[in-house]
A and B are shown apart, each in its own frame.
Chain A
Amino acid sequence: MAYRVIGTSAARADAWEKVRGRPIYAGDVAMPGMLHGRIVRSPYASARIARIDTRAARALPGVAAVLTAQDVPRNELRMELPGRMAEATAGAVLATQPVLAADRVNFQGEPVAAIAAETEEIAAEAADLVEVEYEELPGVYDPLVALEPGAPEVHEGGNVLRRWHLRAGDVTEGFRRAAVVVEHTYRTPFVDHVYLETETGLGWIDAEGVLTLRVSTQVLEHFRDVAEILQLPHGRVRLEGAYLGGGFGGKEDVTVECLLGLLVWKTRRPVRLVFSREESFIGHGKRHPYVMRYRTGATREGALTALEAELISDSGAYAALSPWVLFYSLVTATGPYRVPHVKVDATTVYTNNPVASAYRCFGSIQTCLAYEGQMDALAAALGMDPLALREKNFLRKGDTLATGQVMETEPMIAQTMRQAWAGLGERRAPGGPIRVGRAVAASFTPYGRMCWTRDSASAWVGMELDGTAVVRCAAPDVGGGQTASLCAITAEVLGLDTDRVVAVGRDSHFTPRAGTTTATRQLLMSGNAVLAAAREVRRHLVAEAAALLEAAPGDIELADGRAFVRGAPDRAVPMAGVVRAATANGRPVQALEKYDAPWAPTIDPVTGQGKAFNDYTFGSHALEVEIDEETGRTRVSRLVACFDAGLVINRASAEGQLEGGAVQGLGYALMEEIALENGVSRNPHLLDYKVPTSLDAPAIETILIESGHGLGPFGAKGLGEPAMTPSIAAVANAVSNAVGARMTELPITAERVLAALRSTT
């Protein structure tokens, strides 16, 4: 089918605002009489709070409030997702974080007091005047140590937060059938999202007495969390979504919302709260470090027979989203392969390290490092071409995942791998001290929530009398073009140019609820809701146009801002005419629709069997690295990313996801790590926590396959998280290829490369 808007690279409406520097972010707006917020945080990772004295801070002129735990009506940040989650968390030790720590702190950066003052300077001075007496307590900083008997307990009930298990076939039998078995342990560090905009919000009380927060958040539904901690009816707290300066999962958990709401509610004045870069480093959830012990077996011909894995993730001080991140790891542990005998045990563990939670890929990137490392290791052990080995084992339509889920459409994984590899071109000749390595990594990543959550999204589409359309949908835009895609879908269905469609809102109360911009779910969820609403509006417009043009509705087409009779383009009415006629005749020109994701029961908690996710996005990276033997420095010289997008909504946005995801992954693979010493960060600044610059990023080629197999609008799949998944495995495999030893630990620093080079000579 030919589309007019869908699939083009049309410039997004938000981009025109962004290049003008217009104030579209949460931190750009000030209010008259506004106070400035400031948070006092624990410098210790594990300590008892013996005493807090706020008198001196409160006495400082210009200070409006100094709040501590006792000022929070319900001092507990619950991580409750709507839907059927309770049965899936049965048995877990879910430690919820307080808004403000009362008598003990469990990680460095935990908020202890919240201040509001007339100026930022006064707020900072007041923060220095808050006296907190800490008594350091023994802490635990390594998840493996935390699992040992006698380890200090971070929370009552033990340090095991949650275990998941996956069982398929008989793994002992599987290894008996294997001619070769490879075994490696992979390790990944804590890393930070480093969105350029730190956590930010402005709050006030509106004319109806509703606590209103304009916040940089991926989750407008956090209005409920704010209402709960203040013990207000949910309807009395409203969240207004601003455009985000990046999210990547780091603005999925509550960040400023509750602290800000508390300060506004207590002072009855507008308050702005902006986290400094250092606070952003120590104050929000990180990506979980993993230790992954993998054994994989295959026949002499390269058919996988068995996979056994033990995954341990460091949840840090509180539960946050750790059980679900770990669940994604469980489901993706085998990779996009047919493995008849599987045994995976996964555990997430409390420590006094930073809280770990959502970060792009949500547990499915760490496992990719391991399963793709294993594939290259197996290929080497078998003397097989690594691509041929993968191809032999890739999931095909009708195959089952280890969870028992059947692949209902053809996973295009082989195509993505072959095309990515072909895109790499000829191997560069090594020269002087430069070694060249190249590799592929194939991956699969869920898009959309776990089936049992009963996910849904709503959207409203309506026509104006001038023939333009309005979309109302509370889907936060993190920068990926979520809003523009909803407009493009509407424009396509209604035969309008994109500049004749506007999306307003992203507001918890004023726009229909669309759920979170997380889990690569918005195109699937809000996209389908908008598609349904636009189609319903279209049905009315077509009926009206048919009456006006004296034609059958089946013969009416909408395009270029008008309705006309197919085959007789002169028999036409402009859209404005259709809308006016419909209004005059009492025909509706708007629609509110809801999309419900297909549902399946909770997976079996003992065996991991069941349908975990509705669908997956498949994609591969091929890349080439150059390694300086003398310095150990690795440079990615070329990268090709190939994904099955299902269908591309906006080409530039889709390519942008692939490019951005790849480079974020290169940082994770080669340079990023939160350096912790007994839970305390040694590098909470951009000077010491390096992310890739324009000089680190390679030339990138992107290839988008359009199978039409997705569950999203017009057959689209999600790309946001999947775009990053194969990155770290591809780098690790390419470096391994260059040095002749398996790289199993991130980041792959110069020291690690030199050590690997020494080990092979």
Chain B
Amino acid sequence: MTLTFVLNGHPCTAEAPAHWTVLDLLRDGLSLTGTKDGCGEGVCGTCTVLADGRPIRACLVLAAHVRGRALVTVEGLETDGRLDPLQTAFAERGAAQCGFCTPGMLLAAKALLTEDPAPTAQEVREALSGNLCRCTGYAKIVEAVLAAAPGRS
């Protein structure tokens, strides 16, 4: 099938077999490997991307779902060579250790901050509770999201 959608701000047309998930489309079809496959069963959150601003689990959603939507992946967080404040905060505060959960975390956090520019620590923890991290104990991730929250400075 042919899919037309907006990918990281640019119009995109891609071919995909009907059984492909969004994750297959991104990683295999479009060579955008920033989005990770940590379980393929909808639990770990490493495949989180934004569809029309809302986080989805790319490993569960069929590729056909992206038709006509705006998709944002970790590769699209940067604008004109400038990193998103979340990316800077994650790097500067040690929130990315092995980094495998990082793309999904960044997008889940992006969705949160778009909706609520001044979340509390507890709200950040709730918003990220579907994204597992095995390295950081979440401390520096929560800290980085709070630091990047535009409404909190």
Chain A residues with a Cβ under 8 A of chain B: 9, 11-12, 14-25, 27-30, 121, 193-198, 243-248, 274, 276-277, 478-481, 652-653, 655-656, 659-664, 685-687, 691-695, 697, 699-700
Contacts and interface: CB of A to CB of B under 8 A. Distances in A.
Contact of B137 (A16, A20, A664, A686): A664
Determine the main DSSP class of B at the interface with A: loop
Which 6 pairs between the two chains have the least Cβ-Cβ distance?
A21-B34, A479-B98, A18-B99, A652-B94, A245-B100, A21-B74
B15 interface: no
Contacts of B141: 694
B98 A195 contact: yes
B138 A276 contact: no
Given A19-B83, A196-B98, A652 B39 contact: no
Contacts, number: 181
From B31, B128, B137, residue with most partner A Cβ within 10 Å:
B137
B1 to A, nearest CB: 16
Interface string B56-86: 0000000000000000011101100001000
A192 B127 CA distance: 26
Nearest to A662: B137
A245 B78 contact: no
Given A196-B46, A196-B132, A695-B125, 14 more contacts: A9-B94, A20-B87, A24-B99, A196-B44, A245-B38, A245-B98, A277-B39, A480-B97, A653-B94, A656-B136, A659-B136, A664-B137, A686-B43, A697-B138
A659 B140 CA distance: 9
Contacts of B133: 196, 694
20 contacts: A9-B93, A12-B94, A16-B91, A19-B87, A20-B34, A21-B74, A21-B102, A195-B100, A196-B38, A196-B44, A245-B99, A652-B93, A655-B94, A656-B135, A659-B136, A663-B136, A686-B132, A687-B43, A694-B129, A697-B139
Determine the main DSSP class of A at the interface with B: loop
A11 B41 contact: no
Given A659-B137, A685-B41, A478 B96 contact: no
A17 B128 CA distance: 22
Given A196-B132, A652-B94, A19 B106 contact: yes
Contacts of B139: 655, 659, 697, 699-700
Nearest to A700: B139
A697 B83 contact: no
A71 to B, nearest CB: 28
A16 B90 CA distance: 9
B74 A20 contact: yes
Contacts of B33: 21, 23, 25, 27-29
Contacts of A15: 90-91, 94, 96, 99
A481 B97 contact: yes
A194 B98 CA distance: 13
A664 B134 contact: yes
B43 A660 contact: no
Interface residues of B, number: 56
From A20, A478, A695, A699, residue with most partner B Cβ within 10 Å:
A20
Contacts of B75: 20-21
Interface string B121-153: 000111011111111111111100000000000
Given A11-B91, A15-B99, A19-B96, A479 B135 contact: yes
Given A196-B36, A276-B40, A277-B39, A691 B134 contact: yes
A19 B102 contact: yes
Contacts of A700: 137, 139
Nearest to B74: A21
B21 to A, nearest CB: 12
B94 A20 contact: no
A653 to B, nearest CB: 6
B125 A660 contact: no
B50 interface: no
B101 interface: yes
A274 B39 CA distance: 11
B41 A277 contact: yes
A18 B129 contact: no
B48 to A, nearest CB: 12
A656 B97 contact: yes
Nearest to B32: A21
B134 A246 contact: yes
Contacts of A198: 38
A656 B143 CA distance: 12
Contact of B92 (A11, A24, A662, A693): A11
Nearest to B43: A686
B137 A697 contact: yes
Contacts of A243: 98-99
B97 A30 contact: no
B134 A195 contact: yes
Contacts of B83: 19-20
Nearest to A653: B94
Contacts of A18: 90-91, 96, 99, 102
B103 interface: yes
From A29, A194, A693, residue with most partner B Cβ within 10 Å:
A693
A27 B37 CA distance: 9
A697 B141 CA distance: 12
From B38, B44, B135, B138, residue with most partner A Cβ within 10 Å:
B135
A14 B134 contact: no
A636 to B, nearest CB: 11
A479 B97 contact: yes
Nearest to B92: A11
A248 B44 CA distance: 18
Contacts of A479: 97-100, 135
A19 B36 CA distance: 13
A247 B100 CA distance: 11
B140 A656 contact: yes
Nearest to A651: B94
From A14, A21, A661, residue with most partner B Cβ within 10 Å:
A21
B104 to A, nearest CB: 9
